[in-house]
Amino acid sequence: MADVVNVRLNWLPLDRYPRHESPKDVFALEFSADNHNVLFSGCRKGIINIIDLRVPNHERDIINHPSTITHVRQLDRNRIIVAGLNSSLCQYDLRFRRQIVTMASTARRPNKSFRNESITNPVLQYPGFHNDSSIHLGFDVDLETGTVAAGQEMDEFNPHLRLFSLYGGHEGKSLNHLDNFFSHGQVDWKHSEHRVLTSSESSLVKQD
C-alpha cells in the first residue's frame, strides 16, 4: 500500500505535507464522496491533510489525530471516522475542529508509536478499540446498519475483530476464533447481506 501511495502522489508538491512528511508517509486515502476533487490524506504523524486537487499551493487544511493514521472513511458531507495507532479511533465533524492539548509529551508510553501533543477535538471516540502498533489491520464501516468493523491486535483481553456502534461508540459483537488473523488481515462488509467478511493469509470467515 505504501509503495502504491508513493507512486500515485509523487506529483503532489511536498509543501502540502506538514512536518517535512512526504508521500511515502501516507498510509490512508479517501476521496470526498460529494466532491471528488477533495482528498483526505492520513499520514504517519497523525495529520489528515484535506487537499483540494484543483488548487495549487492552497492554504493548508488539516485535522490532528492522536497518532499515526491507518484508515480514513467519510461518513457524510460533514463527518469522517479515523482509525490509527495507540488504539485511536475517532469521529470528526469537519465544521467544528477545536484543538486540544494532550499529555502525550509527559505520559509514559507503552509502545513506540507516534503520539500528537495537540489534537483536533473529536465528536465521538471508540474507547474499546485496541491497536497499538499494527498499520495493516483491516477496517470498514456499514452506514446502513450503523456498524464499524475493526481488526485489532489480539491479546487476553481483546479479540481479533470487534464491532462498534457507529453513532454511539459502544462495543458490539467480537470475534476471537479467527485462526491466523495476523497484521495483514482484511475486513470488508458484504453490504447486501449485512455480513462482515474477514480474510487472512489462510482463512476466510463470514460473520453475521
Looking at residue 114, its pLDDT comes to 75
pLDDT in tens, 42-55: 999 999 999 888 88
Looking at residue 48, its pLDDT comes to 94
Among 125, 151, 186, where does a domain finish? 125
Q: 99 and 35 share a domain?
A: yes
What pairing do the DSSP bridges indicate for beta strands 195-199 and 186-190?
Answer: antiparallel
Among 98, 125, 152, where does a domain finish? 125
DSSP string across the chain: -HHHHHHHTTTS-GGGSGGG--GGGEEEEEE-SS-TTEEEEEETTSEEEEEETTSTTPPP-EEE-SB-EEEEEE-SSSEEEEEETTTEEEEEETTB--EEE-STTTSPPSS---B-SEEE--SEE-TT---SS-S---EEEETTTTEEEEE----SS--SEEEEETTT--EEEEE---TT--TT-EEEEEGGGTEEEEE-SS-EEEE-
Q: How many domains, in total, are found in the chain?
A: 2
Q: Which domain holds residue 146?
A: 133-208
> For the chain, how big is the Rg over CA atoms in Å?
17
Looking at residue 107, its pLDDT comes to 44
Upper half-sphere CA count for residue 42 (Cβ side, 13 Å): 23
The list of the chain residues with pLDDT below 50 reads 1-7, 105-108, 178-185, 200-206
Looking at residue 21, its pLDDT comes to 57
Q: 137 and 197 share a domain?
A: yes
Q: 109 and 138 share a domain?
A: no
Among 125, 144, 174, where does a domain finish? 125
Looking at residue 160, its pLDDT comes to 87
Q: 159 and 202 share a domain?
A: yes
Q: 21 and 107 share a domain?
A: yes
Looking at residue 194, its pLDDT comes to 53
Tell me how far CA of residue 115 lies from CA of 15, 24, 178, in angstroms: 22, 19, 30
